Amino acid sequence: MSTPRAQSDASQVYRRYLSAVMLHGHAGAKACGLGATDLYALNILELSGAMTPGELGARTGLTTGPTTRLIDRLEQAGYVRRAPAPSDRRKVIVEPIGKPAELDRVMAPARQKIGELLAGYPPEQRDVLFDYFARAADAYQQAAEHLRTDEPA
């Protein structure tokens, strides 16, 4: 059974972890001449594939104008392209163009270090960690969706 002290310490450790991840994301984006939202949008596109500007706006939490400017910046930087939607050529989809080499170079040291940390765990503990990551990602996405739907109009 965990004590209130242990729960408090766990909360602080977890918050410190999340802050470090966010700080690294911001620093990595800045090192590549991107904004944090630009990096986040690229990650969404890499993980989910091509989508409409409206879908990208919903996933990033941006309204129409800022989403258009985001796509303009990413397109100008050579990270994405606009293309006609295969199902309806009147619509546009945003497609990632390969992997941004500069971004991969900037993020490589942290990715390597995290890979080494994970490799230090036995397989059964890694399974638990990856299960947690998957479940936590779903929980955060659901919570974000709940917050978006509860926002005042």
pLDDT in tens, 43-63: 999 999 999 999 999 989 899
In the numeric block, the tokens 């911001």 are attached to 26
CATH topology of domain 34-98: Arc Repressor Mutant, subunit A (1.10.10)
SS3 115: helix
* Average pLDDT of the chain to the nearest whole number: 89
pLDDT of residue 95: 95
Chain centroid, CA 47 distance in Å: 9
How far apart CA 29 and CA 40 sit, in angstroms, is 9
How far apart CA 54 and CA 63 sit, in angstroms, is 8
Q: Which carries the bigger pLDDT value, residue 66 or residue 148?
A: 66
3-state helix, strand, coil in the chain (%, to 5): 70, 5, 20
Considering the entire predicted model, what is its pTM?
A: 0.78
Pairing type for strands 80-84 and 92-96 reads antiparallel
| Average pLDDT of the residues in 99-123 | 90
Q: Where does the pLDDT of residue 141 fall: very low under 50, low under 70, confident under 90, or very high at 90 and above?
A: confident
Asked whether 44 and 56 are in contact (CB, 8 A), the reply is yes
